[in-house]
Structure 1
């Protein structure tokens, strides 16, 4: 079989008009997380035609895909889980450190030329230490979602002297006491425990948000949750912006309800401009969704997306195919 490749030449999301011109007759399509316009026009209106066998997205998330429409047409969907686990875990740890050590505020001080006017003081620019210390020997890390990325993040925290791990999981998923015991023994932790959201908020020194997006998890972190957190606690979100109520978080930061927040994702992104209430908060570190942005990870994602596409076209096993029957 001869494969004809049609490739968008630029390192950015393709123009909608270009895609609509090229897609008719295609057997497979590779799309990006940013291609939200394709869900309705391509799949519901059958712009690709009857030859379409597979859609491969270069992303872990698939909220941009009309799952019902492609399932009805018998089109397979490939995605790229696992490849970005280490990169996102690295970034989660980086954000926790940056927030606790006032990274955003102090970096802007230097960039704005204000360092000479900021004399040293005993508690100047101090923040809550992530690692355990004689002053704070007990450190509890909390996770909303406890999948591969959360566990990889926990692994990176162990050398810092973390003593307790608590996590919130989907209520419909069965408990895994054997996993908890295994991780506790493996990492020498005092405890690994599944808890409800209230306990997670109250007891965590850092809360890492690492759960899937969607209506079921929308605004899990809201004003009520934030109000239960410690004043020295840090919130880190490297999953989906919709899990955190941005307005509630901005209010909590402004009023000193929690210490700070590190966000790689924000609800409504990329429409996050200088006048956004979270951007105005000095103890909020915001990155433009770069969790998977390492050369190694993006190459791995692109390779997996290509292999998924070829598997779907040739009706062979796809390395990472989403089970659409369980999702629609």
Structure 2
């Protein structure tokens, strides 16, 4: 019987499937596991199911020991995992693509509506009991029909967000490393642009690219300056893709009209300047936060662990 370490609480069905075949230790507290406790817990583990709140690096891998076979990350992104260090030690790395596509696209489009229609501002007025009255020019927002959504990173979530935008009557532009299939381009009526062109052209820019050294601060002062002063930025990918200090300045100066963020550069900390601004909608990393999605994510991670521990190929391996 192998030892499986789960670094944070996950839905019970996934844990039950692991316990049916293996010994399972899970961090039960709702707060993230401390570094010291993590290093102690992984000792002797054959499999680790990690959450995005845990940094899995050489120190953790060495603390686990040479018997470790798989690191199953319960997330699509895996910037919290040192994949080369895993590869050097023969540890398989997996993630959970596909199962959270629709839920994250819902949040992306929700943020688009919150920012363009100023829904966050409106709710704050009501909750603060600030006096208000209907007026022709009160909290005017921007309609989406006939506007252009610029998608940076036309993967699964980017495509799902674009489909929602099409239903709202938006045009689609995208910037991606490769051209999308012809049938998809036809379905979305999508135009491929380079990033600079897209930033200058789009009315809403939605980020869906993976985070890496290459995309660190992909959106900074220079890129924000290229955007229209009537445009909006939405990020449901990873926080460090956006230079938050530059974003605060752009929002304060009216360089762009607004922003919607589900992820943050130094999460869970949020840049103080963002908290002071009304033209930004802020939500606490809720992209995959549905019962159905989080259960499917945990189960996929568990299935990956069970496959590798059983001598089978993983379902969704991350390539070194």
Distance 2:87 2:317 in 1: 13
Per-residue displacement from partner, 1:279-314 (whole Å, max 9, x unpaired)? 211010111111111111000000001011111212
Task: List aligned pairs for 1:155-166, cutoff 5 A.
Answer: 155-162=163-170, 164-166=171-173
2:52 equivalent to 1:33:
yes
Deviation at 1:184, TM superposition (A): 4.5
Task: List aligned pairs for 1:161-180, cutoff 5 A.
Answer: 161-162=169-170, 164-170=171-177, 173=178, 175-176=179-180, 179=181
Among residues 155, 158, 173, which one is paired with 1:150 in the alignment?
158
Q: Secondary structure at the match of 1:219?
A: coil
Q: Secondary structure at the match of 2:115?
A: helix
Deviation at 1:66, TM superposition (A): 1.7
Gaps of 5+ in 2: 2-20
The answer on whether the counterparts of 1:201 and 1:225 sit within 8 Å (CA) in structure 2 is: yes
Question: Residue 202 and residue 22 in structure 1: after superposition, are their counterparts in 2 closer, same or farther (change >3 A)?
Answer: closer
The equivalent residue for 1:95 is 111
Question: Residue 86 and residue 74 in structure 1: after superposition, are their counterparts in 2 closer, same or farther (change >3 A)?
Answer: same
Question: Residue 185 and residue 67 in structure 1: after superposition, are their counterparts in 2 closer, same or farther (change >3 A)?
Answer: closer
Task: List aligned pairs for 1:28-177, cutoff 5 A.
Answer: 28-36=47-55, 38-43=56-61, 46-114=62-130, 116=131, 118-130=132-144, 132=145, 138-162=146-170, 164-170=171-177, 173=178, 175-176=179-180
Q: Secondary structure at the match of 2:259?
A: strand
The equivalent residue for 1:135 is none
Per-residue displacement from partner, 1:151-175 (whole Å, max 9, x unpaired)? 001111122112x2111113xx4x3
Per-residue displacement from partner, 1:181-237 (whole Å, max 9, x unpaired)? 4235335x3xx2211122111111110011011110112212222122122211110
The answer on whether the counterparts of 1:214 and 1:242 sit within 8 Å (CA) in structure 2 is: no
Q: Secondary structure at the match of 1:108?
A: helix
Task: List aligned pairs for 1:127-276, cutoff 5 A.
Answer: 127-130=141-144, 132=145, 138-162=146-170, 164-170=171-177, 173=178, 175-176=179-180, 179=181, 181-187=182-188, 189=189, 192-272=190-270, 276=272
What is the aligned residue count? 301
Gaps of 5+ in 1: 133-137
Deviation at 1:252, TM superposition (A): 1.0
- Cα RMSD of the aligned pairs, angstroms, is 1.6
Could you state the TM-score of these two structures normalised by the residue count of structure 2?
Answer: 0.89
Q: Secondary structure at the match of 2:57?
A: helix
2:304 equivalent to 1:308:
yes
Distance 2:277 2:122 in 1: 13
Q: Secondary structure at the match of 1:278?
A: helix
